[in-house]
Structure 1
Amino acid sequence: MSTCSTFSFETVRLAQTGAKVLAAANAVVSVLAGLGAAILGDALARGVFG
């Protein structure tokens, strides 16, 4: 399973079991973590290869 399909599966599973708040939190936190990692990676690459 890929990271994206696992993220999708877990979010849908949470929503289907009635944990809609946890499903929404999972989606928000995952997207923010991904964006944060991309921004950090860009900053590190600019610092190293600047």
Structure 2
Amino acid sequence: MKSLEERLEEFAEDPAKKAKLFKWTIIIAYSMLMLGIVIILAVLFNERF
């Protein structure tokens, strides 16, 4: 089994893997942002009504 450091070196060396990692990082970050906004809005609306 590869260590985390070895996997990160693979991503750094291969442009295709680096692009795929970047794409998934952006997708996950944007999804977490949207989920956070939904949770905040749900809390705000539940307190007001």
Flag structure 2 segments of 5+ consecutive residues without an equivalent. Answer: 1-7
RMSD: 1.5
List, as ranges, runs of 4+ consecutive aligned residues in structure 1 with deviation greater than 3 Å. none
Higher relative contact order (CA 8 A, sep 6+): 1
How many residue pairs get aligned? The number is: 36
Identity of aligned pairs, percent? Answer: 11
Higher-Rg member (1/2):
2
Flag structure 1 segments of 5+ consecutive residues without an equivalent. Answer: 1-9
User: Deviation per CA, 1:25-45, whole angstroms, max 9, x where unpaired?
Assistant: 111001111100000000011
